[in-house]
Each structure stands twice: as structure tokens, then as C-alpha cells.
Amino acid sequence: MTLVSNNTTVGILYDIENAPFEMLNYTLGKARRFQPCRTIVISDWDARPEQKRWDKLLRRPGFTFRQISRTFLGKNSLDSALYDSAKLLYEEGVRRYFVITTDSDFVRIAEMLNSREKSYIIGVGTKQASETLRSAYDEFIVYPPEEKPKAAKAGKKAAKVQNQPEEKPEAEKKRGKRKKEQKDLQEVLNESKDRKEAKEPKNVKDAKEAKEAKDAKTAKDAKETKAAKAVKSGKNAKHAKADKTDLRVKPGNAQKAESLEQAEQSARTEAAEAVKKPQPAEMQPSEPQGKKARKKAAKEQPAVPQETAGLLTVRLPKTLRQSLEERMQHEEVTMDELITYLLMRGLSK
């Protein structure tokens, strides 16, 4: 059952003690959309004689205002009077009602209106109304009505747009041009970013290949250096072996080395004996005279051959001399020491 627009009677039960005048006025506006129909508004109008607005309200066309009589005074007397009036309307065949209250005691009125035959009841009250009261009605309208957030926001926006002065066509044109420039700039930036991201993997690949090539080149250079050192070492060893063989094979070299060793030994023996044998005191000249005598004796003394002086002059081939010089640098010795060492090794074998 729904509240439709026909000649059916609609009853409005108004709790004048718990609902303000504005709630009644709001409910009458809601009930007007169901007209043409007979609308009976029931309440104890004499309970609020100080309200001058009742006089204007009671003269509103299209509504019938009925005064109820209380059977007793005190608490819940108005509830009991409204209950009796609703029962009379129900017995008269009225099946559509508005109940204006937030009092949960009116639940028994809703139960009575659905006792034998179902009625369609619309409750009107504040948001503090209990769930029991709300559940007793087929519909419940909250007063004051709550605005939907989206609708309120849209209304504010529309009002703001309406209050703003109209922009000049030239200013609007400049703003559109500025937006277009910003959009073009953003597109260029996005394109540059995409190009950079697409190019980045290639750069990483090139860097990896360059690193691998560099490592391969370094390994190759190290290998070549190691091979060159090995060849040079083998060449030096070969030259040293050849020199040793030459010195060992040639008999002249062995004789020269033997004579050199004998000369050195005799020179060391004579020097040791000269040191051990003291000279007489009268034969020892003074310091200046001794120096002159030694110089004169050195001039008059005949030249001693190189073999007896412990020196040996050898003419070496160019290739042999180069090999000895390389060996000398490698061993970090003088040429005399190297030749002496080689000769001694040859003699020992």
C-alpha cells in the first residue's frame, strides 16, 4: 500500500508537546503533494494558546483541523487523546497517516493502526528518534532534512560561478593559449624522457662490451710481456752458457787464468813479507825524504810486465762483450768480477 493522489482521507497526528511548529509546517508541505484528498490534522490546539501562528495555520485551505479532548490531565494525557482520535479515524476507514513526533510512546499507536488491516504510516521526527520508533513506520522522514554533501557542494560551486564576473574574451583566449603551451611543453618532456629510457639499455650494453674489450687487451699485453721476459731470460742463459763453454774449451784462456792466479798469489806473499820484516831505524828516512826516495825508486825501477802485476788484458769479440755486459747488468757486478768468476768456474771443472 502506498500513499497515492486520490480522494482518500489522510490523517495527520501532531504531538504538539514534543514537536515544534516548524515540523508541522514541513509535514503539511509534504502532504500537499498527495492532494486532492481530505487531510485531517488532529492535536490539542488549546494547549498552546500563546502561539499566534495557530490562527493563520488553522485558516490554511485544503486541511481540516480537529481539536481533541483529553480525558485526564497529566503525563501522557496527550498521547492517550491522540490514540483515541487515531482509533476513531481507523474505524472510519482511514488507512493513510502522518505521525509527527519523536516520542517512542507513539509506537503503540502504529501497532493499533495495523491491528486488523494494514495501514501506510509515515513518521516525521528528528534524528534522535529511536530505532524502535523508526521500525514501526513504513517510512521515516528526518527533520530538519539533511542536505546531501554532493548536492550542497554543487550548489556552492554554482553560486560561486554565478557570482564571478564574466571574463573578457581576450583574457580567456590568453588563458587557453597558456594552457596549450604548458601541454606542449609537457609532451616534449615526456617524449625526451621516453627516448632516454629507450636509449639507456644500449649505453649499458656498450659500456659492458668496452669493459670486456679492455680486460681482454690487458690480459693480452700481460701475456706478451711475460713471453718477452721469458725469451730474454732464455737468451741471456744461452749467451752465458756459450761464454762458459768458450772459456772452458780455449786452452789459452785456462793458461792465462792460471798465470793470473799465480801472479796474484806471489804479489800477496811479497807484500806480507815486506810488512813482517822491519827496517833499521837509521835506514828509515824522514817523512819528506821517504816520499822523494819512493818517487825516485819508482822512476828508476823498470816496468813490470802486466802478467806479474796481476792484470790480464783480453780482447773479446763484439758479440761476446755484449753478452758479458748483459750478464753483468743482470747479476749487478763489475766486468772484472764477472770474468774472474767465469774463469774460476772453468778452472774448477
Q: What per-residue confidence (pLDDT) applies to 308?
A: 47
Between 154 and 278, the more confident residue is 154
For all residues of the chain together, what is the average pLDDT? 75
pLDDT in tens, 151-177: 556 666 666 656 555 545 777 778 888
Residue 12's pLDDT band (boundaries 50, 70, 90)?
very high
Which residue shows C-alpha cell 649505453?
A: 203
Q: Please compute the mean of the pLDDT values over residues 288-294 and round it to a whole number.
A: 54
- Helix H or strand E encompassing 14: strand 10-14
Is pLDDT of 312 > 70? no
Residue 76's pLDDT band (boundaries 50, 70, 90)?
confident
Q: What per-residue confidence (pLDDT) applies to 281?
A: 46
Q: Please compute the mean of the pLDDT values over residues 247-268 and round it to a whole number.
A: 57
d(CA 183, CA 216): 50
Single-letter residue type at 150: K
Between 176 and 105, the more confident residue is 105
pLDDT in tens, 118-133: 999 999 999 999 999 9
272: cell is 806480507
Q: What per-residue confidence (pLDDT) applies to 90?
A: 93
pLDDT in tens, 182-239: 888 888 888 877 777 666 555 666 777 888 888 888 888 888 887 777 766 666 665 5
Between 127 and 311, the more confident residue is 127
Read out DSSP for 229-280?
A: HHHHHHHHHHHHHHHHHHHHH-HHHHHHHHHHHHHHHHHHHHHHHHHHSPPP
* Percent of the chain whose predicted confidence (pLDDT) is above 90: 21
Q: Please compute the mean of the pLDDT values over residues 102-126 and round it to a whole number.
A: 93
Q: Name, in order, each residue with C-beta under 8 angstroms of 99's C-beta and a sequence gap of 6 or more.
A: 13, 15, 106, 109, 110, 121, 122, 123, 124, 137
